[in-house]
A and B are shown apart, each in its own frame.
Chain A
């Protein structure tokens, strides 16, 4: 087997005997890759189905606008939040969305550093997913303040009150972590887009499209010097994003674990949150990729290899998350703390037991199907599992936040949380906003990185002995 001397990532052909599917279908060239991906954007025909999907999503985004407007008018009393459950859907959704974003950075940065060429077909839209997810996430803490127009108080800006933020608070760390994350993700995404937008500029037929893509491409012309600096910058950004993405969800977990509340006050939170974030993020990438590759006929580029690899990452991170649940339960018993023990029993057998057991089913039991190759090769089944994991990860945050808050130390301060219409409408609205942005992105920008796809085509290899 000639390929066994090459690093794993360089194998474009199926490995003999093992039946591992390929990263890109055979027979593709620079021209065919370029034409195929750019034609999705540059085509004049937009199918009716696209408009229906976009309008549905935009309708839900409109619901978000309505919910937020009503919230600004009435205050956050329109939500079911109360004392003791001061954090509920808002923070649950915030953590859920931020977590979803993490897969995009993991794919674009960490897998780049690990030289996993299979990331190439999925990194662009996963990064877009990150950006849109972070945008949806940001809405929740902003509006949970109740007075979003005072959000600048969170930043260290000189003001007439001579008051400054408290840098010892994880909530301020969160502001810095999430805003840095949003900025760096946007930069990473845009830098990756520049050469592709230059391709669109050169291939667009319409004057307007040429102008817009021309401006966005910054006059990129593919010069060797530019490429060299570009590659350096891209690699550095990947190196910087890798610790960043780990830090973001760690900081989010500090919001909880630095407090003394049973169910929050635990040292397992940072790694368990990061694994959970990647778990939910890969689930969302699958949820988006599976319909996209069918609708746009991208099976040549997003192959079974990609779906399988993502399924394997989900299986692994899912097991880490399951370990986290196990440790939580074990420490509640082994720690000997009465309140911690009660917290665990309350999850299992308290008023919110259906949510807890649904969480265990969605995140721990059902995804074990991924052990079977038959299931990993079954696209509809993968889609179902990805949705189930998305639901499960949402439930996880709900369980952590609401179940810990509603029963604290003193029975006199116990309470219940029941979501109102506006809780649901705000949440569903952000899903609408996310999908709207995603539909627009798929139509207007190349959803797969064209120049990186060119680099994995066989003709990209410079033959040794000629050039040197």
Chain B
């Protein structure tokens, strides 16, 4: 794992690492960097699709509930008015859509990120505490095909701006 001082250096280093053929790479930064996930070759996330499906299910669930309650389980005949008065069902349908979509967005994000995860090897590096303040880190994982402790260390050291290259104990 190598440490960098600026976002620009990290993005440049991540691009070089990908070009060198490393795949199991992760980068750590105190701010979201838009360019970074392209640089490490991270594909688009499925999250928006999940949220869309969650919202649709929520909306349909809400409407079905109202339909079932008003027309099947507890029909109230008031002056012969229709039991399925759907325009009156829209507000609750809408709120259920938003609720389910929001829950999907948050819990979907946590699930895809495999959070909560109290322990992770990178926390073993004492200087990693700076990743939540002002330092940037690039980590090549030992599971990578090309990984070789000495050669990878040499590669990381050769990157522009890299210092404090460390091996991370699992």
Contacts and interface: CB of A to CB of B under 8 A. Distances in A.
Interface of A: 29-31, 34-35, 156, 162-168, 170, 172-173, 176-177, 180, 183-184, 187-188, 190-191, 195, 198-199, 201-203, 214-215, 218-233, 236-237, 240-241, 243-244, 247, 251, 254, 451, 454-455, 459-463, 466-468
B15 A31 contact: no
B149 interface: no
Nearest to A184: B102
Nearest to A195: B132
Given A177-B91, A195-B132, A167 B69 contact: yes
CB-CB nearest 8 A-B residue pairs: A467-B11, A30-B134, A218-B116, A233-B109, A202-B129, A219-B117, A173-B91, A164-B74
Contacts of A224: 14, 26-29, 33, 36-37, 39-40, 42
A222 B123 CA distance: 11
A34 B30 contact: yes
B99 A180 contact: yes
Most B-side CB within 10 Å, residue of A163, A177, A229, A237 = A229
A236 B48 contact: yes
Contact of B7 (A188, A228, A462): A462
A455 to B, nearest CB: 5
Nearest to A231: B32
Given A224-B33, A247-B95, A462-B7, A218 B28 contact: no
Contacts of B34: 231, 462
- What does DSSP make chain B's interface, helix, strand, loop or mixed? helix
Given A232-B109, A467-B35, A219 B99 contact: no
Given A225-B113, A228-B45, 9 more contacts: A187-B106, A191-B109, A223-B27, A224-B14, A225-B37, A225-B42, A451-B30, A451-B31, A454-B31
B108 A233 contact: yes
Most A-side CB within 10 Å, residue of B32, B73, B76, B131 = B32
Interface in B80-106: 85, 88-89, 91-92, 94-96, 98-99, 101-103, 105-106
A55 to B, nearest CB: 34
B60 interface: no
A218 B109 contact: no
A201 B120 CA distance: 14
Contact of B95 (A176, A215, A454): A176
B62 to A, nearest CB: 8
Nearest to B37: A228
B96 to A, nearest CB: 7
A188 B31 CA distance: 18
B48 A187 contact: no
A221 B122 contact: yes
Contacts of A195: 132
Given A31-B133, A164-B74, A227-B36, A184 B98 contact: yes
B6 interface: yes
A156 B69 contact: yes
Contact of A220 (B15, B31, B99, B115): B115
A183 B123 contact: no
B132 A199 contact: yes
B110 interface: yes
B166 interface: no
A31 B93 CA distance: 46
A254 B99 CA distance: 20
Contacts of B129: 202-203
B102 A237 contact: yes
Contacts of B120: 219, 221
A170 B133 CA distance: 48
B132 A198 contact: yes
A29 B134 contact: yes
A264 B104 CA distance: 37
A228 B29 CA distance: 11
A467 B134 contact: no
A198 B113 CA distance: 15
Contact of A247 (B69, B73, B91, B113): B91
A236 B105 contact: yes
A368 B70 CA distance: 49
Contact of B132 (A35, A222, A459, A462): A222
16 contacts: A173-B92, A173-B95, A199-B132, A219-B118, A221-B120, A221-B122, A224-B42, A225-B40, A225-B113, A227-B33, A233-B105, A236-B47, A241-B98, A244-B98, A455-B32, A466-B12
Contacts of B9: 466
